[in-house]
Amino acid sequence: MDYLLLAKKYGTPLYAYDFDYIENQYNKLKKEFNARKSLIAYAVKANSNLSVLKHIAAQGAGFDCVSIGEIKRALMAGAQNYKIIYSGVGKSDEEIEQALNLDILMLNLESEEEMKRVESIAEKLGKTARISVRVNPNVDPKTHPYISTGLSENKFGVSIDKARKMYLYAHKSEFLDPVGIHFHIGSQLTDLSPVVEASNIVSKLLRELKALEIDIKFFDVGGGVGIRYDQENDPDLYAYAQGILSALKGMDVTIICEPGRFLVGNCGVFITKVLYEKTNDAKPESRKRFVIVDGAMNDLIRPSLYEAYHEIDALKEGESELCDVVGPVCESGDFLGKNISLPELSSGDILVVKSAGAYGFSMSSNYNSRPRAAEIEVKGGKDRLIRKRENFEDLIQNEKEFI
């Protein structure tokens, strides 16, 4: 990608996504499960731009959604309803009703109470709800605590014992059809052996259920496949897939996995422009250089929220010095990078924040009344706008009639 050209053509701050990269990542993962029936259900939350979803749907992927809004986005982008999974700890009655009416593949249940709610809504609609239960296998994914989800101290899923009870109940219910079993233990795992460990634990329950003639057809291992932001090792996809396959030996189930970051994380960059440079006046040993850019924590919150590292490239040579790359938002936590080595910069220079395709734009906000960035795709060497830059009118449209 010619970042300078893109910055000039579309302005900054800007998200740019390489669609060919997404396709490659999809094929890489899909290939590992060739020996079996499998469905790659992209986790929409990672990047929910309609054109991104359309591109992923065109590969034959399914979608893992956590709100009715995400389901509607996926459908609008061309997803087939029978490839959509609906997960999430807090589905509202309206969302459950709409999901049942849309005849999606299955609803992933996260509690007994939710199961009863789904049952009564299905009864009211005269439908049978296809469901799976999210099992919390109590496995440590060894990742950042905020994105770790598979320990019993986390709010997600139910224990194996509770899941067993739920399946027995659902099996007897006229309005519930248990078709899947699910877990997701955490995100950004560069060592995927905890997923294999969880597969072994959850497949034992699957075997029990099959023995009871509860016909589970889908084994969903969640997302979590990590990517390289810095010096991390690329995860071993072969060992991951083989580990899951061997946990399922002798059982006829379709494997589902729900990658978000793996498909889109490294397809995207966040392009921002230098506004100013300044150095504080403290003593030489505590002297600090700040590079102030036009992108901020409202555009890309990962560094502020998780102290996540994103490589920042200045696109120019020169003697480098450490600096903090900060945005215009009124918070000390507003930074895109800390202690980053960058050459001398001047107003108008472009910085490229790498690995920003996942949980970048999708977690952005209008904090400080900042319009959100534009998004573009690059496919086969051609660039195209896929989301207009917001303007002031967009920010006030739901308020102005009340003033």
Q: Which residues are annotated as a binding site for pyridoxal 5'-phosphate?
A: 224, 258-261, 359
Question: Residue 175 or 359: which CB sits closer to ligand LLP?
Answer: 359
Single-letter code of the amino acid located at 42:
Y
User: Could you identify the residue written with the tokens 């502020």?
Assistant: 304
User: Could you identify the residue written with the tokens 């400080």?
Assistant: 368
DSSP β-bridge partners for residue 341: 322
Residue set of the binding site: 224, 258-261, 302, 306, 331, 359
Single-letter code of the amino acid located at 180:
G
Question: Which structure tokens are listed for 382?
Answer: 């051609």
**Distance in angstroms (rounded) separating the CA atoms of residues 124 and 63:** 27
295 binds ligand LLP (CB under 6 A): no
Site string for ligand LLP, 314-353 (x = CB under 6 A): ----------------------------------------
143 binds ligand LLP (CB under 6 A): no
- The nearest distance, CB 396 to ligand LLP, in angstroms, is 28
Instruction: List the interface residues with ligand LLP, window 169-228 (CB under 6 A).
Output: 184, 187-188, 222-225
User: Could you identify the residue written with the tokens 């699910």?
Assistant: 182
Cα first-last separation, the chain? 45
Nearest to 60 by CA among 38, 43, 45, 76: 38
Q: Is 88 left (phi over 0), alpha (psi -120 to 50) or beta?
A: left
70 binds ligand LLP (CB under 6 A): no
Question: Residue 225 or 274: which CB sits closer to ligand LLP?
Answer: 225
**Distance in angstroms (rounded) separating the CA atoms of residues 312 and 229:** 11
Backbone angles phi, psi at 123, to 5 degrees: -60, -45
**Interacting span for ligand LLP (CB under 6 A) from 13-21, 30-38, 254-262, 335-343:** 254-262
**Distance in angstroms (rounded) separating the CA atoms of residues 105 and 86:** 8
**Interacting span for ligand LLP (CB under 6 A) from 29-37, 71-79, 159-167, 257-265:** 257-265
Instruction: List the interface residues with ligand LLP, window 24-43 (CB under 6 A).
Output: 43
64 binds ligand LLP (CB under 6 A): yes
Question: Residue 187 or 298: which CB sits closer to ligand LLP?
Answer: 187
Task: Tell me which of 95, 197, 258, 375 binds ligand LLP, using CB under 6 A.
Answer: 258
Residue set of the binding site for substrate: 261, 302, 306, 331, 359
C-beta separation of 29 from 262 below 8 A: yes
- H/E stretch holding 63 reads strand 62-65
Question: Which structure tokens are listed for 293?
Answer: 């850019």
Instruction: List the interface residues with ligand LLP, window 90-129 (CB under 6 A).
Output: none
- The nearest distance, CB 271 to ligand LLP, in angstroms, is 19
C-beta separation of 237 from 28 below 8 A: yes
Task: Tell me which of 1, 147, 151, 201 binds ligand LLP, using CB under 6 A.
Answer: 147
Task: Tell me which of 40, 46, 293, 314 binds ligand LLP, using CB under 6 A.
Answer: 46
Q: Is 65 a catalytic residue?
A: no
**Interacting span for ligand LLP (CB under 6 A) from 164-172, 255-263, 345-353, 364-372:** 255-263
Which ranges in 58-213 belong to alpha helices (H)? 68-76, 93-101, 112-125, 160-172, 193-211
261 binds ligand LLP (CB under 6 A): yes
DSSP β-bridge partners for residue 220: 182, 256
Question: Residue 259 or 327: which CB sits closer to ligand LLP?
Answer: 259
359 binds ligand LLP (CB under 6 A): yes
Kindly name the residue from 65, 257, 323, 330 that is annotated as catalytic.
330
**Distance in angstroms (rounded) separating the CA atoms of residues 185 and 195:** 7
Q: Which residues bind ligand LLP (CB under 6 A)?
A: 43, 46, 64, 87, 147, 184, 187-188, 222-225, 258-262, 302, 358-359
What are the catalytic residues? 330
